[in-house]
Chains A and B, each alone.
Chain A
Amino acid sequence: MSEIINSPLLWKGAVVTLQLTLYSAVLALILAFFFGLLGSSRHGWARAIGRFYVEFFRGLPALVLMFWFFYSLPLVGIRFETMVAGVLALGLNYGAYGAEVVRGSINAVPTAQYEATVALNMLPRQRMWRVLLPQAVPLMLPPFGNLLIELLKATAIVSLITISDLMFRAQQLRASTGKGTEVFLVVLVMYFVMAQILQLLIRYLERRSERILGRRPRRRAATAIAGTTGTGSLSGVGGEGS
């Protein structure tokens, strides 16, 4: 057992896993806001684009998308670095889930707020940036937190396209020690610890954003978006964001 825990392979892998999570999260966040805002637009064509992006990439498993980027696209002359293929697949996939969160949260801001901005003759830009988004973002944090944990877990698939993340290193270690059960048990615990640390960070952010807005901190996250891959919130059903 000690040879497994002391092996530098797993620690190096864990760092790569965290890097991947970070890069894909940034990409997913950008895509989520872009398509989420399109999805809550007044214009029908913009909503259609948002809808299409969400339906398409939510319906496609990240693994299939990643294999397609990695194995298929080079055959028609489009070549990615391995890391880019992984981040792109994860980012596009989780961006679609995130876009639904953004759209749902903006729609969840009370209508009276929107009507007030119209009464005050605000520009569409001002409505969004000064009134709607500042109130929608705290609503987004709990579901975004769940998605971040899901993303951390999803990064394990990049091992299949030879990115040396935690899962890939685990396979290497298994090959050299021959102890499959022990190696993967240790790796499971490592993923668990990483997820718990992320969870604590997210809770801290949620509390801060609520305090900035001057709201009472809620005991539990109130939104779980129906339809995301196992939005693992403790709050269960809800589904008010979708």
Chain B
Amino acid sequence: MTWDWSYAGDLVGPLLGGLRLTIAATALGYVLALALGLVWAILRRSPNVVLNQAVRWVIEFIRSTPLLVQLVFLFYALPTTGIQFSAFWTGVIGLGVHYSTYISEVYRAGIENVPRGQWEACTALNLPRSRVWFAVVLPQAIRKVIPTLGNYLIALFKDSPLLLVITVPEVMRVAYTEGGKSGFLEPFTVTAALFVIVSVLSSILIRRLEGRYAII
């Protein structure tokens, strides 16, 4: 069997359709990860030792177990809660929760880098806790970690093909079904090319961001 250009050309349409879903899952998962990661990071700074340690071990557990297993676990476990999630949303939750643990560490490092004087100034000004976090600490903390956050977006994107195991018709699953009809050579090669192109382009973009935000 040799490479067939016309077959490869026909594949681009359906594969780009799959890529749309991949990107949607990536974007939604990332938003969830950013939000949940912030919750973890703030809880980790709680003075309550029990809460603090509980959150620490939950993060450690989620972070040191494979995303693939977590996705399949969610696929079977979520319906037992009584709420029906579609495969797509199960995937978004899985990606989001998994990456929130990485992202919480990024936030944590950013928060630790905020000078102590800022906290003390907040106390001196008698600011309420919500303003301390959202008006003073986080704007300074997040600015510095934007490039690192960007790297995790790329990492999340590259983990999204795992959603194929829970039957989400993202790009890899499309390639798999197409390949089942008329040969696996072209579908997987075109998919691989798509991934390399998107990853390399986005890593160039991140490097630009780094230039803008990292050095203040």
Binding site for B on A (CB under 8 A): 55-56, 58-61, 63-65, 67-68, 71-72, 75-76, 149, 153-157, 159-160, 167, 170-171, 174, 180-181, 184-185, 187-188, 191-192, 195-196, 199, 226-230, 232-239
Contact of B105 among A64, A71, A191, A234 (CB under 8 A): A234
- Least distance between A127 CB and chain B CB atoms (Å): 30
Q: Given the complex of chains A and B, what is the CA–CA distance between A68 and B151 in angstroms?
A: 25
7 residue pairs from A and B, CB less than 8 Å apart: A64-B195, A76-B185, A153-B64, A153-B66, A159-B68, A174-B76, A229-B155
Q: Is there contact, CB below 8 Å, between A235 and B109?
A: yes
User: A185-B77, A192-B64 given. 10 additional CB < 8 A pairs?
Assistant: A59-B199, A60-B158, A61-B158, A63-B161, A75-B183, A191-B65, A196-B64, A226-B148, A235-B109, A237-B109
Q: If the complex has contacts A60-B196, A170-B69, A181-B80, are A72 and B64 also in contact, measured as CB distance less than 8 A?
A: no
- Least distance between B159 CB and chain A CB atoms (Å): 7
Contacts of B92 in A (CB 8 A): none
Q: Is there contact, CB below 8 Å, between B184 and A75?
A: yes
A-B pairs with beta carbons under 8 A, tally: 150
- Least distance between A164 CB and chain B CB atoms (Å): 15
B36 within 8 A of A: no
Contact of A160 among B69, B152, B165 (CB under 8 A): B165
A interface secondary structure, majority: helix
Q: If the complex has contacts A64-B172, A195-B64, are A184 and B192 also in contact, measured as CB distance less than 8 A?
A: no
Q: Contact mask B161-178 → A, CB, 8 Å, 1/0?
A: 110010000001001100
Contacts of B203 in A (CB 8 A): 55, 58-59, 227
Q: Is there contact, CB below 8 Å, between A187 and B69?
A: yes
Contacts of A76 in B (CB 8 A): 1-3, 185
B25 within 8 A of A: no
B61 within 8 A of A: yes
Q: If the complex has contacts A59-B195, A63-B161, A67-B172, are A232 and B67 also in contact, measured as CB distance less than 8 A?
A: no
Q: If the complex has contacts A59-B200, A184-B76, A185-B73, are A71 and B179 also in contact, measured as CB distance less than 8 A?
A: yes
Contacts of B132 in A (CB 8 A): none
Contacts of A156 in B (CB 8 A): 66, 68-69
B147 within 8 A of A: yes
Q: Given the complex of chains A and B, what is the CA–CA distance between A230 and B64 in angstroms?
A: 11
Instruction: Name the residue of chain B whose CB is nearest to the CB of A229.
Output: B155
Q: Is there contact, CB below 8 Å, between A191 and B69?
A: yes
- Least distance between B89 CB and chain A CB atoms (Å): 18
Q: Is there contact, CB below 8 Å, between B76 and A229?
A: no
Q: Is there contact, CB below 8 Å, between B188 and A68?
A: yes
- Least distance between A144 CB and chain B CB atoms (Å): 16
Q: Is there contact, CB below 8 Å, between B64 and A184?
A: no
Q: If the complex has contacts A170-B69, A226-B148, are A232 and B1 also in contact, measured as CB distance less than 8 A?
A: no
Instruction: Name the residue of chain A whose CB is nearest to the CB of B73.
Output: A184
Q: Is there contact, CB below 8 Å, between A167 and B66?
A: yes
- Least distance between A175 CB and chain B CB atoms (Å): 12
Q: Given the complex of chains A and B, what is the CA–CA distance between A234 and B175 in angstroms?
A: 37
Q: Is there contact, CB below 8 Å, between A181 and B73?
A: yes
Q: Is there contact, CB below 8 Å, between A167 and B68?
A: yes
Q: Given the complex of chains A and B, what is the CA–CA distance between A114 and B95 in angstroms?
A: 44
B27 within 8 A of A: no
Q: Is there contact, CB below 8 Å, between A232 and B184?
A: no
Instruction: Name the residue of chain A whose CB is nearest to the CB of B186.
Output: A72
Q: Given the complex of chains A and B, what is the CA–CA distance between A3 and B172 in angstroms?
A: 35
Q: Is there contact, CB below 8 Å, between A63 and B73?
A: no
Contacts of B151 in A (CB 8 A): 226-228
Q: Is there contact, CB below 8 Å, between A232 and B73?
A: no
Q: Is there contact, CB below 8 Å, between B195 and A71?
A: no
Q: Is there contact, CB below 8 Å, between A154 and B75?
A: no
